[in-house]
Each structure stands twice: as C-alpha cells, then as structure tokens.
Amino acid sequence: MSENIAVVGSGAFGTALAAVIALAGRSAVTLVGRDPSLIADLKAERLHDAVLPGILLPDTLEFSAEADAVVGASIVLFAMPSQAQADAARQYGPYLSKDAVVVTCAKGIERTTGNLLTDMLERELPDHPIAVLSGPGFAADIAKGLPTAMAIAAADMETAERLAQAISGRTFRLYASNDRIGVQLGGALKNVLAIACGIVEGCGIGDSARAALIARGLAEMSRFVVAKGGQADTVRGLSGLGDLVLTATSHQSRNLRFGIALGRGDKTDPLHGALVEGAFAASVASRLAAELKVSMPITDAVSAIIDGRLDIAEAIEQLMTRPITTE
C-alpha cells in the first residue's frame, strides 16, 4: 500500500529516514524543516553536508519549510530531539489529516513530567494513533544504505505492521511490536548506560568493566521496563540490547563520547554544545526509579556524576562494594 509520508525534523536522523524511505520508492516522502534557507539549499543541492557529509539525497525526496506540508500525510514521523517534541505537536497538530499516524523517533523521557514521549504526544494529539521508532541505527549508516534494523511499536500490532511495511526498505528493516513502553525505555535508558561505558573508557579501567556495565545495565533496564508496565523480552531485542551494544561501543555515539570526556576529567564541553540525550534522561530515570522503588545503581551513579554530586572514583567504589546479590 502506498503511503504519503512526512518526516518532520531536518537534522541528521530525520534527513536519513526521509532519504531511505524515499529510496524504497513506494511512497511520496517530504522532509519538513523549520529553516527556510536550509530547506532551499537541500532542495537545490540534494546534500546536507552539515550533518551527513557527502551523502546525496534521492531525487524523489520533497522538501518544505511550511507546517502545512504535513496536510495529507498518512504517516508523520517526528524526528526532532525528545525535549522539542511537545512544541512540534502543537505546531504541526492543526495541519495533521484526520487519520494520520504520528511516529516519535526520539529517544528520551519528557523532562518536566517524566512521561514517555508517546504519553506526551497522546496528550497533545488525542485524535491520532501514536507510535515509536527506536533501535540501533546511526543516521550516517542509514543514509549511506548500510544494513540497519530497528523496532517500531504501536498500541496494536496491525498499526505497527503497517508502519513497518511502509517505512522499511532494501537496507532498512523494521520489526513490529506492540510494546511501546519497552521500546521507548530501551531507547532512553541505553543512552544513560552509554555514558557510563564512556566513563569506563575515559578512566581506562578496562574492557571487563565495560562488559559488566552492559550486562548489569541491561538488568536495570529490565527491572525498570517491567515496573513501568512494559515487557522484559523487549529489553533483549533491538531497542534494548541492540541499541545498548551499538551506543556503548561506537565512537559515533555522542553519549559514549560525552562519557569518555567525563572519565578523562575534561573541563571544557567535549561535544561543543551537541545534544546528549542521556544527560537529560539520567536524572529523570533516577527520580522515576526511586518513586517506583526500582534499584538502578548505575543510572543513579551517572545522574550523580553529571550533576556534580559524586566523583567517579567514589561512584566506582560504591558500585563495587554494594551488598552481594544473585544475578
């Protein structure tokens, strides 16, 4: 079935998604951005060198800087950062067609409320089905056509499967799920754990420590997901384990690089103002875990280190001297 798809957000991930869906050739695709001069450049040059250098964008991809570009779209992907999604819902909501499905592509938790992004979007856009796309996929890999698999979750499997069919392509494969809670929390919490793995690397305390962090971090994620009403199995899939392994081991990851800088004790901003979703998610997740009485010692430690309440040596000491438990 041919769909009319709008991707809102002309950063690296939104541009990559729009390009890979357009390349599949099954649907009309429009990339919608806020900056008219950037959109004009993209339309003229078919390149977005600021975020995806040297990658040619498909001729079939349309561009617009107008909010009404989403009119008539059957699927609308929100590919802006997590903390900008509520504003986007208010800006584009009035232009959404009656049956449009909205898909959040951000990995985070709403900072002010602690809500999942699907909950927030359901509050802002009560007349539209809300889905989430998440998993191990760097924008550059997707845009280059390197094989990538991610998860897409909706409230019902029928919608999730429709979205997976519509968005998947020759090099981009989506797996359908009905566990929106698990898919979202996997995406948000793995960023926090990637910062922890970066701290381990920056401190130079060894690959064994990183492996332990990944395994015990996954256990934390499982406990939290189940407490929030999600499925433990989801954590072992693409949006949990898959995304955690990618983000915790690849230097393309901003969260890992941020952690490395913390581990080295760098005082200047290592990412020159680039967004680090895990830094926002750490304190929110730590607070929510305390409210739910879920033990998340690694997340708590990352939150305290970022906030300046705990130094790294002390955090390692605390984690290693916790009471011995079963796995």
Catalytic residue annotation: 190
DSSP 39-69: HHHHHHH-EETTTEEEEEPPTT-EEE--GGG
Alpha-carbon gap, residue 36 to 33, rounded angstroms: 7
Neighbouring CB atoms inside 10 A of 224's CB total 25
- Main-chain dihedrals φ then ψ at residue 148, nearest 5 degrees: -140, 140
Amino acid at 156: D
User: Which 3 state secondary structure label does DSSP give 151?
Assistant: strand
CA distance 240 to 278: 14
Instruction: Output the CA torsion 201→134→82→26 (10° steps).
Output: 130
Nearest to 134 by CA among 176, 105, 175, 167: 105
Containing 189, the helix (H) or strand (E) segment is helix 180-203
- The answer for residues whose C-beta is within 8 angstroms of residue 322's C-beta and 6 or more apart is 297
Contact 276, 255 (CB under 8 A): yes
> What number of other Cβ atoms are within 10 A of residue 169's Cβ?
18
What is the layout of strands, in order, in the sheet containing 4-8?
62-64, 28-32, 4-8, 75-78, 101-104, 130-134, 148-153, 172-177
CB 132 within 8 A of CB 118: yes
